[in-house]
Amino acid sequence: MRFSQIHHMPYTGIDEAGLGWPISNRRFDPKTAVDLFKTYIDVKAYAEECGFDEIGSNEHHMSPFGMMPNPNIIGAALIERTQTANIFQCGNLLPLTNPLRIAEEYAMLDVMSGGRLMAGLMRGIPHEYVAYNIPPDDSWSLMREAVDLILKAWTEPEPFGWEGEHFRFRAVSIWPKPVQAPHPPLVMSGGSETSARFAAEYRAIMGILRVTDLSQAKDLIDIYTAQARADGWEPGPDRFMVGVPTAVAETFEEAKQVLHDGTQYFFNVLQGGINRALQLVIQTTKFNPEARNIRPLDKDEQMKSTPVEERIERGQVLCGTPDMIVDQIKKMHAVLNHGHMNLIVKIGNMPDDFITRGMALLGSDVFPHVKGLGEQADDGRAQTAAE
């Protein structure tokens, strides 16, 4: 079992953000942002000292939800602060950006880190398309073409031309190329039937980045597995990553209260305008064309109002003392047999000292008891190298 630390780097210097979109930045305070960036990068780098295998950074736009419009800048900063942890970019939003730029920047990160990059290739969530004025109806065709172009740019030894539906280049030959051959491990999200099948087609690590319950996560793993078998290969635990908000403390009472307060801030302040844009895109476009979207948007409101104890039981969160967290991880693994866990260490406005204390407890009192789960799991390199 391998563990990632993910931290969305929210702007927490406000008490309300409103329901408009994009979110007004009139209350943005530069000094607050400078202090937050310094603290957040320190917290991310501290993950290596605490025994995390991977440090994650992701991309969001025009919202205090996350101050990483380009997560590759944060990834580069972390390379200079770490020695062994994988640089987990989870990741760049392919339909919004020139895919060759992503191929080049990821290759740079892989070279700079000596081959520690995990390459997240993500479609993004609906409101990002509003922010960048990209037609949501084109998201899947943009995604597929961008992935194919990036993989060819990484692996083709001679210059080549590209004439696709969305992208056209007379000649492509990127410098540098990635250190890892044939390319860094791929990570893709799997929150719906379509995305689970897509991830399996590319043999990517599938990230279930928000669990609504264990049966939903198992459904997604089964969909991925069925697609992989139809394509003639058998996925192991190393192909599956489960993401969960995490609160660890010496007492359950403290962990529960901090998680509750952070969750309320997340939904009431950080998520308000985003939800309005999400609903608009979902209702008026073909962003999710399948009949059954396994992570419906109305689950957000349910998570906000559900007691912490019930969220623990459903597998939506990890919360409690180190012994409780060990038991919760073992329970999840018994159902899902996954090889990666992506621990979201800051939810809403959780205090940063609480987060670092919890990370230290994970390293000393949790990881030693659960890293042996799923001995087949690795970071994806072995299978990637064999493809």
Largest CA distance in the chain: 61
Q: How many CB atoms lie within 10 A of CB 304?
A: 14
pLDDT band at 281 (very low <50, low <70, confident <90, very high): low
Q: Report residue 297 as tokens.
A: 């948007």
* Residue found by looking up tokens 């329901």 in the block: 19
| For residue 243, pLDDT beyond 50 | yes
Q: Report residue 251 as tokens.
A: 């007492």
* Residue found by looking up tokens 């927490």 in the block: 12
Dihedrals φ, ψ of 266, to 5°? -60, -50
| For residue 362, pLDDT beyond 60 | yes
Q: How many CB atoms lie within 10 A of CB 228?
A: 19
Helix (H) / strand (E) containing 248: strand 240-248
pLDDT top residue among 313 and 290: 313
Homologous superfamily of the 2-386 domain (CATH): Luciferase-like domain (3.20.20.30)
pLDDT band at 133 (very low <50, low <70, confident <90, very high): confident
Give the DSSP letter string of 176-195. Answer: SPPSSSS-PPEEEE-SSHHH
Q: Are 270 and 64 in contact, with CB atoms under 8 Å apart? A: yes
Q: Are 102 and 142 in contact, with CB atoms under 8 Å apart? A: no
Q: Are 197 and 167 in contact, with CB atoms under 8 Å apart? A: no
pLDDT band at 210 (very low <50, low <70, confident <90, very high): confident
Across 138-167, average pLDDT: 97
Whose CA is closest to 211, among 116, 307, 303, 110? 303
| Confidence (pLDDT) at 375 | 64
| For residue 51, pLDDT beyond 80 | yes
Length of the chain: 387
| For residue 363, pLDDT beyond 90 | yes
Whose CA is closest to 64, among 15, 132, 99, 118? 15
| Confidence (pLDDT) at 384 | 43
Cα separation, 379 vs 53, in Å, equals 9
| Confidence (pLDDT) at 190 | 94
Across 192-201, average pLDDT: 96
| For residue 219, pLDDT beyond 50 | yes
Q: What percent of the chain has pLDDT over 90?
A: 75
Please tell me the pTM assigned to this model: 0.91
Cα separation, 143 vs 249, in Å, equals 40
pLDDT band at 259 (very low <50, low <70, confident <90, very high): very high
Cα separation, 74 vs 386, in Å, equals 30
| Confidence (pLDDT) at 386 | 37
| Confidence (pLDDT) at 285 | 64
